[in-house]
Amino acid sequence: MARKVITFGELMLRLAPAGYERFLQASSYGAAFGGGEANVAVSLANYGMDAGFVTKLPTHEIGQAAVNALRQFGVDTSKIVRGGARVGIYFLEKGASQRPSKVIYDRAHSAIAEACVSDFDWNEIFLGADWFHFTGITPALSDSAANICLEACRAAKEKGMTISCDLNYRNKLWTKEKAESVMGNLCEYVDVCIANEEDANDVFGICSKGTKVTAGELNKEGYREVAEKLTDRFGFQKVAITLRTSISANDNRWAAMLYENGRCYFSREYLMHIVDRVGGGDSFGGGLIYACMKEYNPQDAIEFAVAASCLKHSVEGDFNLVSVEEVKKLAGGDASGRVQR
C-alpha cells in the first residue's frame, strides 16, 4: 500500500505573457494553476505516491478549474474545503539574460487567506497519512492561515507523522520579524527543513559565511554551519539546502546539500538552461520527500531531489511533470538530453 502525503497551502491562478514579453507589451496572458504545496503534491502523485492537497477554494468555475488542474495528475482533492470569494492570482513575467523574472501578487482576501481554523478537521484529513508538508508561504497569507498551519502541525505530531517545511520566505507577504516569530513556533514541530541559500538568513538570521548570492558566489562548506545551527535550535532530523548559482536569468548552476545525523551530503552540480524556474524549489521538496519515504540513503536522496528539480527547470508551468525513471536516469549521470527512441 502506497504511503500517503498531505500538503496544505494556497492554489493560485498563474497569468503570464507569452514567451519573454514584458507586462507592458502583453495583449494576452496564458492561464495555469500552481502553488508551493500543490506543486509538491503533483510531483509526488507523478511518482506514484498517494498525495492529497488541502486548501480552501471558491465554489465558482475558477475554483473548480483549480481543483480539476490537480485531479488530472492524480492528486487527491477530496479534502479541499469549498467556499470564500476568490482564487489568488499571480502574474509572472519571465526574465531573460540579465533581466530578472518578476512576480506581481493579487492574492489579498483569497479563500484560503480568509479561512478559519474550524474549516479543517485535521483528525479526519490525516486519516491514514504518514507525512505532512507545508511551506512558509501559507502562514504568511494571514494570521488565520498561520493558526491553521499550527493546528495542522499539532495534529500531525500527535499522530506521529513526519512533518516537512520549506521555509520559502517571501518579502512581499510579510516582514522578516513577523516571519521569524511565526515560523519559529511552527518549526518546533518540523522534522525535515528545506530552504534555499537565502531563506535561513531571511527568516532566522542564520547565514553562510562567504556567500554572495547576487554575485554568484556560494561557500558550500558554510552551509554546514547553517544546517548545524538550524538543527541545534529546532532539533530537525534533516536539513536540505538548495544551492543556486545564478549566471543569468536563463542559466544557473544547481546543487544541494543534505544534513543528517551530523553529516553533510552534497549533490553533483548541474548547469541548467532554464525554460521555467517557477516551482523549482517545490520540485526539489517533492523529490526529497519521495526519496525519504522510499528510504533512500542520504546521498541517493539528495541526488534524486536535485535531479528532479533540475528537470523541472525544463518544464513549462508550476508542476514538475517528470517520472521516477527520468529522474533516476539523470541522477545516474545521463545528462546528455539525447532523443529517447
Distant-in-sequence, close-in-space partners of 142: CB < 8 Å, separation ≥ 6: 113, 114
Position 18 in a domain: yes
Q: Give the pLDDT confidence score for residue 263 in this predicted structure.
A: 96
Q: To the nearest whole number, what is the mean pLDDT of the chain? A: 94
Per-residue pLDDT tens over the stretch 203-244: 999 987 665 655 555 677 788 999 999 999 999 999 999 999
pLDDT at 334: 76
pLDDT score, position 207 = 82
The answer to whether position 200 is within a domain reads: yes
Number of domains in the chain: 1
CATH number of the domain where residue 180 is located? 3.40.1190.20
Q: Does the pLDDT value for residue 314 go beyond 80?
A: yes
Domain encompassing residue 11: 4-331
- Residue 187 within any structural domain of the chain: yes
In a domain, 239, yes or no: yes
Name the DSSP letter for residue 317: S
C-alpha 73: how far from chain center: 17
Mean pLDDT value across residues 57-86: 97
At residue 98, the pLDDT reads 94
State the Rg of the chain over Cα: 19
**How do beta strands 270-273 and 4-8 pair?**
unpaired
Residue 338 falls inside a structural domain: no
Q: Is residue 263 part of a domain?
A: yes
Residue 119: all three cell numbers together: 474549516
> Which positions ≥6 away from 218 have C-beta within 8 Å?
197, 208, 211, 243, 245
Q: How far apart are CA 285 and CA 288, in angstroms?
A: 5
pLDDT in tens, 22-45: 999 999 999 999 999 999 999 999
